[in-house]
């Protein structure tokens, strides 16, 4: 499959992270989400997506402010799921969009070139369209089965992940059921990195688990 060229509206910020942590406060085992994210930051995560779709705008704004504070303390990036307004209001590092969101091109006009735009793709054509519109990176999945992505049908598998990684010239992150045990498979499929929720958010020790995941990514990125 030929490479899909970058969109003209792509931002100017490098995607220099390999682990993309997505939040879900319902999976923290009763712990405050901010405390769990802090532990992940201590373990080495450098990019976090705030994704709490069931919160009111006021509640989401307050949580975003708290996460902006601690991510800044650790020199990490914070992206807000879908809400360009909140991202701008708290000076977040970007947004993460999907098929039901505003177009990538519209978000880019509002955010400018100095913020990141990620996109959730569930097929190679979706990923290619996001790249053409100016997304900086895509999450691609579900690669493996995971209850949180069961609405999207059967897992796409590592072969489709490889197709997306080879077709796009922007980074592709494997999403859905990714754990330490299958990192070797996704990195061999030429993924830029991994995106996940429960493997860190629900871990008994988020700091240690984050460090272990980063070590595994580095190992298999160097030895695909």
What is the average pLDDT score of the chain?
93
d(C-alpha 187, C-alpha 52), whole Å: 28
Torsion sign, CA atoms 181, 74, 20, 23: positive
The reply to whether 5 falls in a domain is no
pLDDT at 202 over 90: yes
d(C-alpha 39, C-alpha 211), whole Å: 10
Position 145 scores a pLDDT of 79
The reply to whether 8 falls in a domain is no
- As given in the structure block, the two tokens for residue 45 are 């995560």
Range of the domain at 50: 19-222
Q: Tell me how long the chain is.
A: 224
How many other C-beta atoms can be found within 10 angstroms of the C-beta atom of residue 220?
16
How many CA atoms does the CB half-sphere of 149 hold within 13 Å? 23
pLDDT-derived band at 222, boundaries 50, 70, 90: confident
The reply to whether 163 falls in a domain is yes
The reply to whether 14 falls in a domain is no
CATH number at residue 192: 3.20.20.70
**pLDDT (tens digit per residue) in 110-166:** 999 999 999 999 999 999 999 999 999 999 999 997 766 556 568 999 999 999 999
DSSP assignment letter at 141: -
Out of 8-12, 74-78, 94-98, 159-163, which region has the weakest mean confidence (pLDDT)? 8-12
d(C-alpha 198, C-alpha 117), whole Å: 23
The reply to whether 25 falls in a domain is yes
The reply to whether 141 falls in a domain is yes
pLDDT-derived band at 1, boundaries 50, 70, 90: very low
**Total structural domains in the chain?**
1
d(C-alpha 175, C-alpha 168), whole Å: 16
The reply to whether 4 falls in a domain is no
- As given in the structure block, the two tokens for residue 81 are 């799921």
How many other C-beta atoms can be found within 10 angstroms of the C-beta atom of residue 159?
9
Percent of the chain with pLDDT over 90: 88
Out of 8-12, 38-42, 179-183, 189-193, which region has the weakest mean confidence (pLDDT)? 8-12
Average pLDDT over residues 98-115: 96
d(C-alpha 167, C-alpha 152), whole Å: 22
Position 25 scores a pLDDT of 98
pLDDT at 2 over 60: no
Q: Provide the terminal-to-terminal Cα distance of the chain, rounded to the nearest Å.
A: 21
Region of 145 (left: φ > 0; alpha: ψ -120 to 50; beta: rest) is beta
The reply to whether 13 falls in a domain is no
Beta strands at 137-140 and 77-81: parallel, antiparallel or unpaired: unpaired
* Cβ within 8 Å of residue 85, ≥6 positions away: none
């Amino acid at each position: 499959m030929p490479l899909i060229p970058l969109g003209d509206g792509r931002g100017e910020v490098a995607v220099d992270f390999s682990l993309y942590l997505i939040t879900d406060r319902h999976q923290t085992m009763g712990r405050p989400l901010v405390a769990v994210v802090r532990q992940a930051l201590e373990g080495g995560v450098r990019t976090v997506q705030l994704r709490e779709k069931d919160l009111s705008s006021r509640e989401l704004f307050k949580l975003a402010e708290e996460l902006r504070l601690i991510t800044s303390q650790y020199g990490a990036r914070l992206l807000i799921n879908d809400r360009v307004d909140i991202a701008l209001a708290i000076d977040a590092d970007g947004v993460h969009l999907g098929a039901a969101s505003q177009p990538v091109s519209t978000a880019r006009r509002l955010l400018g070139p100095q913020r990141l735009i990620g996109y959730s793709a569930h097929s190679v054509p979706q990923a290619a369209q996001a790249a053409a519109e100016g997304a900086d990176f895509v999450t691609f999945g579900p690669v493996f089965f995971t209850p949180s992505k069961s609405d999207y049908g059967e897992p796409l598998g590592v072969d489709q992940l490889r197709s997306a990684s080879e077709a796009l010239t922007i980074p592709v992150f494997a999403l859905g059921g990714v754990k330490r045990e299958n990192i070797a498979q996704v990195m061999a499929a030429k993924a830029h990195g991994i995106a996940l929720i429960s493997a860190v958010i629900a871990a008994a020790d988020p700091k240690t688990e984050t460090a272990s995941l980063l070590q595994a990514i580095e190992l298999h990125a160097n030895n695909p």
